[in-house]
Amino acid sequence: MAVFLAVLIRVLSGCTVRRFPELPKGKPIVFFSNHTSNLDFPVIWASLPREVRAITRPIAAKDYWTKNKLRRYLASKVFHAILIERRAVTRENNPMQEMKQVLSEGSNLIIFPEGTRSRTGEVGEFKSGLYHLARSTNETVFIPVLLNNLFRILPKGELFPLPLIATLIYGDPLYLDAGEHKDAFLQKAKSALLAQDDVEDSIHVSQRKVSSP
Amino acid sequence: MNLQFDAELMLLITGVIVAISLASLFARSFRHRLDPDGSSRFYHNLLARIKAWWVMIATFGVALMVGKVGTLIIFTAISFQALREFITMAPTRQGDHRALFWAFFFILPAQYLTIGMELGGFAYIFIPVYAFIFIPIRAALAGETKDFLERTSKVQWGLMVCVYFISYGPGLLTLEIDGYEGENVKLLLFMVIVVQVSDVLQYVWGKSIGKTPVVPKLSPNKTAEGLIGGTLSASLVGACLWWATPFNFWQAGAMAMLLCLMGFFGGLVMSAIKRDRGIKDYGTIIPGHGGMMDRIDSLCFAAPVYYHVVRYFFGQ
C-alpha cells in the first residue's frame, strides 16, 4: 500500500527531485521544508528512497488527519504520522516530547518549521521548535527540502489540486553548532532552505550550455 | 471516419521502423568513434534519444492501430502533459486556480471529444471563442486583479498551443477527401514523419555545416544552413512519400516544405518562451529529449496550417 501510494503521488505530482544528498548513516534526520500545501509532506515522503521512507515520520495536524476514516487510516497506517494539536497546546500534549522520543528511537522526521501553511507562497519566520529539537538530540542531522510549485498545485483554501509539476530540491545536511544561539540557528536553517532557489537557477544556467536540437 | 489498414499504411510504418533501426545500428557500430572513452555526453544523449524514439513509435503505433479512439486518447495525453509543462513554467496566481482546473479537466478533454464526435466546425471555435471567453471570466470572478491581462494570456496561450493546435493532429482523421475515404491515418502519419524527420535533419545539417544562426540571441543551434539543408532534404523525403497521400509528387514536396517551415518557426517560438523563462527544457518526461513540449514544439504551428491547407485544396 505504502509503495503503491508513493508511486501514485510521484506520478500525479510529476515530482522532480533535484540534488538528492548522500544521507548520513545511522543518525536521525529531520527533513524541514517550506509549507504551502496539504500535499507537502506526502510529496516529500513519496520522494524518499523506500528504506528511508519506512523510518520517516511526518508531523501533521491532528484535526485535519483525524477528520474521517480514510485520513485516519492514511495517517496512522501508511504515513505513520505524528499527529499534533494545532490549537490549545498544553504541557500534557506538547508535541516536542514525542518528536524527541521518535528521534531517539532512530526514526526520521518531516517537519515544517513555519508551523502553518503560508498564505502567499513566501517562506515565513521559523518557529523555535526546530531549535529545540536540535538542542535535545545532539546527533540529529537537518536537511532542508525546498518545495516549488506545491503552492500552485494545492494552495490553502482549494479543494482540487492542479496537475502541475512539483519540484523538490534537497540541500546539504546542517547541524547545530556548539554554543549556537536560537536565532542564529533558525536563521541559518532558513537561509539554507532559501539558498536552494539559487541552486535551481544555476542548474538551469548550466543546462543551457548543453546543445540539443 | 472509419479507418482502414492498407498496404500503404503498412509500408509507412515499416519504413519508420527501418529508419529507427538503422539509427540504432549506426549508433552502436560507430560507438568507438563517437564515444572513445565511454564518457561522451553527446553519445549518451544520442542513445537515450534513440531509445525514447522506440518507445514513442511503439506508443504512437499502437494508438493508431486501435484507430480513432486510440489516436484521440494518445493526443489527449500529449496535450495534457504539454499543458502541464507549459503552465508549470508560466507562473500564474492563486486567482487562476479554478480557471486552470477547468482548463485541464474540462476544456482539454472536451476539445478532443468534440473532434471525436465529429461536431464539424465546433471543433475550430470551441477554444478560440468559448474557452477564451470563459477563462478571463472565471479569473475575474476569483477577484485577483494583479497581472490580470498577463495571466489570462498565459492560460489562453497554453490552451492554444498545447491543446487547440495539437488537436488538429487527430482532426486530420475527420477531413473528407474525395477518393481517400478511410485512409486519413496516412495523412496524419505523413505530417508526423515529415515534421520529426525535419527536426532530425535540421539538427544533423546544423551540426555538420551550420555556421550562421538564424536568430543568434535566441538559439545559437538553429542555423540557416541547418534550416535550408534540413528543409530541403525533409521536403524530398516528404515528396517521396506522395504515394501514401492524396497529393502528387510535387504537391507532397510542397506540403512537406510547408510543414518543415512551420515546424521550424514553432520550435523557434517555443524556444523564445523558454529563453524568457530562463529554462532549457520544458520538462524531463522523455529521456534525452526533455519535456513533451520540447518534442512537439514543431508540431504546434505545423498541424493547424497543414490541416487548413489540405482542407482548402483537397477537402470536399
**Kindly report the CA angle at B170 between B169 and B175, in degrees rounded to 5?**
95
Q: Strand A29-33 relative to strand A108-111: parallel, antiparallel, unpaired?
A: parallel
- At B198 the pLDDT is 94
Give whole-number Cα distances, B100 to B86, B155, B199, in Å.
Answer: 12, 7, 31
Dihedral sign of CA atoms A95, A100, A105, A108 in order: positive
Q: Which residue has the cell 510543414?
A: B259
In a domain, A43, yes or no: yes
Q: Round to whole Å and give the CA distance between B90 and A150.
A: 15
In a domain, A211, yes or no: no
Q: Which residue has the cell 512551420?
A: B262
Please judge whether A162 and B97 are an interchain contact, meaning their C-beta atoms are less than 8 angstroms apart.
yes
Rounded to a whole number of angstroms, the distance from the CA of A146 to the nearest CA of chain B is 16
Rounded to a whole number of angstroms, the distance from the CA of B207 to the nearest CA of chain A is 9
For chain A, percent of residues with pLDDT exceeding 70? 89
Residues of A in contact with B284 (CB under 8 A): 16
Q: Round to whole Å and give the CA distance between B118 and B311.
A: 15
Among the listed residues B206, B229, B218, the one whose alpha carbon sits nearest the alpha carbon of residue B265? B218
Amino acid letter, B44: H
- Number of Cβ atoms within 10 Å of the Cβ of A17: 17
Q: At residue A94, does pLDDT exceed 80? A: no
Report the pLDDT averaged over residues A104-114. Answer: 88
CATH of residue A173: 3.40.1130.10
For chain B, give the number of residues: 316
Please judge whether B80 and A204 are an interchain contact, meaning their C-beta atoms are less than 8 angstroms apart.
no
Q: At residue B264, does pLDDT exceed 80? A: yes
- At B1 the pLDDT is 52
- At B240 the pLDDT is 95
- The alpha-carbon radius of gyration of chain A (Å, integer) is 17
Amino acid letter, B22: L
Among the listed residues B291, B269, B298, the one whose alpha carbon sits nearest the alpha carbon of residue B86? B291
Q: At residue A64, does pLDDT exceed 90? A: no
Q: A interface toward B at CB cutoff 8 Å?
A: 14, 16, 149, 151-152, 155, 158, 160, 162-165, 201, 204-205, 207-208, 210-213
Q: Round to whole Å and give the CA distance between A28 and A37.
A: 25
Residues of B in contact with A163 (CB under 8 A): 80, 84, 104
- The answer to whether A47 touches A103, Cβ cutoff 8 Å, is no
Q: What is the pLDDT of residues B112-136, one digit of tens each?
A: 999 999 887 899 999 999 999 999 9
Q: Which residue has the cell 497581472?
A: B147
Task: Output the nine-digit C-alpha cell for B14.
Answer: 515499416
Among the listed residues B183, B290, B172, the one whose alpha carbon sits nearest the alpha carbon of residue B246? B183
Query: In which element (H, E) is residue B46 found?
Result: helix B41-66
- The answer to whether A12 touches A163, Cβ cutoff 8 Å, is yes
Contacts with B82 (C-beta within 8 Å, 6 or more apart), sequence order: B161, B162, B163, B166, B282, B291, B292, B293, B296
Contacts with A38 (C-beta within 8 Å, 6 or more apart), sequence order: A64, A117, A154
Report the pLDDT averaged over residues A189-196. Answer: 86
In a mutagenesis test of the A interface, which of B40, B86, B97, B293 is the best target, namely the one with the most A β-carbons within 10 Å?
Answer: B97
Nearest Cβ partner for B279 among A14, A204, A213: A204
Q: What is the pLDDT of residues B194-243, one digit of tens each?
A: 999 999 999 889 888 888 888 888 888 889 999 999 999 999 999 999 99
**SS3 label, residue B126:** helix
Sequence spans of domains, chain B = 74-174
- At B286 the pLDDT is 75
In a domain, A56, yes or no: yes
Its domain, for residue A25, covers 2-202
Mean pLDDT across chain B = 90
**SS3 label, residue A57:** strand
Q: Strand A82-84 relative to strand A16-18: parallel, antiparallel, unpaired?
A: unpaired
Query: What is the per-residue DSSP string for B175-214?
Result: --BTT-TT-HHHHHHHHHHHHHHHHHHHHHHHHHH--SBS
Total domains in chain A come to 1
- At A88 the pLDDT is 63
Among the listed residues B124, B127, B112, B120, the one whose alpha carbon sits nearest the alpha carbon of residue B176? B120
ipTM of model: 0.81
Dihedral sign of CA atoms B170, B172, B176, B178 in order: negative
- At B118 the pLDDT is 86
Please judge whether B206 and A213 are an interchain contact, meaning their C-beta atoms are less than 8 angstroms apart.
yes
In a domain, A184, yes or no: yes
Nearest Cβ partner for B97 among A155, A208, A213: A155
Query: In which element (H, E) is residue B233 found?
Result: helix B224-239
Query: What is the per-residue DSSP string for B85-111?
Result: HHHHHS---GGGHHHHHHIIIIIHHHH
**SS3 label, residue B251:** helix
- At B46 the pLDDT is 83
Number of H helices and E strands in chain B, helices first, is 14, 0
For chain A, give the number of residues: 213
Pick the residue from chain B with its C-alpha nearest to A149: B88
- Number of Cβ atoms within 10 Å of the Cβ of A157: 9
Q: B interface toward A at CB cutoff 8 Å?
A: 41, 45, 80, 84-85, 87-88, 91-92, 94, 97-98, 100-101, 104, 199-200, 202-203, 206, 220-221, 278-281, 283-285, 289-290
